[in-house]
């Protein structure tokens, strides 16, 4: 009986020790929130989710204080060739040791019923819930594209929002980074 207990204890410890190590869990990069306009009632969040673990995980839910309801969506093309957004209740699988991209025209986190207008450059806090790893809180900037990438620079908005703090690459470990924006 004793060897069995030891093995179980070791497995237990290694499993729960993992989240404390940077890059040994889930991480989010190149994330941003795209609002359709100042009067928009909804917005979509895009990001790349990295899974540094040895087992698959699944994004099953999301929440944000700026939206009354948050759903996991994808786009599908109907018989008329029109792109429609549909909810994906089963969520998105993030493969072990791999990554999964939520990108324009595909899967996204839908922020529905915005409680206030979103301003370009502001950070939106989104809580992602994973089947295995639990909650991951990320702060994503409101932008037209991934921050710090060529897409963002090409637009040449020049608003001076100070995009250079690398938030777009902020891996979202732990609670909310404290960038103070």
Applying CB under 5 A, the residues found at the interface with Cu ion are: 73, 85, 110
Q: Given its phi and psi angles, is residue 163 left (phi above 0), alpha (psi -120 to 50 degrees) or beta?
A: alpha
Shortest Å, Cβ 105 to Cu ion: 11
**Cross-strand partners of 50:** 27, 99
Q: To the nearest whole angstrom, how small is the minimum distance from the Cβ of residue 15 to Cu ion?
A: 34
Give 73 or 173: the residue with its C-beta nearer to Cu ion. 73
Task: Give which of 25, 28, 43, 32 is closest to 134, Cα–Cα.
Answer: 25
Rounded to the nearest whole angstrom, what is the least distance from the CB of residue 22 to Cu ion in the complex?
31
**Residue closer to Cu ion (CB basis): 60 or 85:** 85
Kind plus residue range of the DSSP H or E element containing 11: helix 2-17
Q: Which residue's CB comes closest to Cu ion?
A: 73
- How near is the Cβ of 159 to Cu ion at its closest, in Å? 26
The C-alpha angle with vertex 176 and arms to 69 and 136, in degrees rounded to 5, equals 60
Residue among 42 and 129 whose Cβ is closer to Cu ion: 42
Identity of the residue, 53 or 73, whose beta carbon is nearer to Cu ion in the bound complex: 73
Min. distance of Cβ 118 from Cu ion in angstroms? 15
Q: Give the nearer residue to Cu ion in terms of CB position, either 111 or 138.
A: 111
Where is 151: in which H helix or E strand?
A: helix 150-154
Question: Is-contact 29 82, C-beta < 8 A?
Answer: no
């Amino acid at each position: 009986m004793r060897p069995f207990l030891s093995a179980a204890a070791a497995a237990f410890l290694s499993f729960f020790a993992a989240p404390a190590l940077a890059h040994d869990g889930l991480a989010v990069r190149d994330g941003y929130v795209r609002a359709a306009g100042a009067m928009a009632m909804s917005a979509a969040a895009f990001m790349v989710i990295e899974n540094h673990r040895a087992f698959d995980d699944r994004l099953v839910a999301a929440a944000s204080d700026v939206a009354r309801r948050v759903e996991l969506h994808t786009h599908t093309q109907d018989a008329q060739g029109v792109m429609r957004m549909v909810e994906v209740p089963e969520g998105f699988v993030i493969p072990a040791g791999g990554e999964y991209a939520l990108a324009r025209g595909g899967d996204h986190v839908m922020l529905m019923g915005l409680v206030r207008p979103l301003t370009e450059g502001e950070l939106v806090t989104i809580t992602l819930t994973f089947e295995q790893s639990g909650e991951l809180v990320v702060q994503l900037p409101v932008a037209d594209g991934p921050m710090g990438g060529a897409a963002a620079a090409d637009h040449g908005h020049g608003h001076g929002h100070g995009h250079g703090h690398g938030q777009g690459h902020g891996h979202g470990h732990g609670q909310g980074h404290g960038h103070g924006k």
